[in-house]
Amino acid sequence: MGILFIVMATVIALRNFYLYSTHLSVGFYLDNYTNNSLTNEKFVIAMLIGGGILLYWGKFRNARNLNNLDNDTKNFN
C-alpha cells in the first residue's frame, strides 16, 4: 500500500510538472509547494509521507508476524 501511495504521488507530481512547465514556468510549479493555498502539490507531499510511514510500519509488522509464526510452529511440534 505504501508503494502505491509513493508511485501515485510521483505520477501526480510528474504530470503537474509537465502541465505547468509547458504552459507556465518551472518557478510557478515550485511556488505551488511553498505558497499558502492548498494545492495538488501539497497532497503529493502528504502522499509521499504517508507512503513512507506505511512502508516503515509494514516492515516492523512483517518482522513481528514472522517471529510469531516461528513461535507457533515450535509449539505445534
As for how many domains the chain has, the answer is 1
Residues sharing a CB contact under 8 Å with residue 62, sequence separation 6 or more, in sequence order: none
Q: Which band of pLDDT confidence, cut at 50, 70 and 90, is reported for residue 58?
A: confident
Domain that holds residue 68: 2-76
| 3-56 tens-digit pLDDT | 888 899 889 888 877 776 666 777 777 777 778 887 778 888 888 899 999 888
Beta strands in the chain, from DSSP E residues, in sequence order: none
Query: Is the pTM value of this prediction over 0.75?
Result: no
Gap between the Cα atoms of 15 and 42, Å rounded: 14
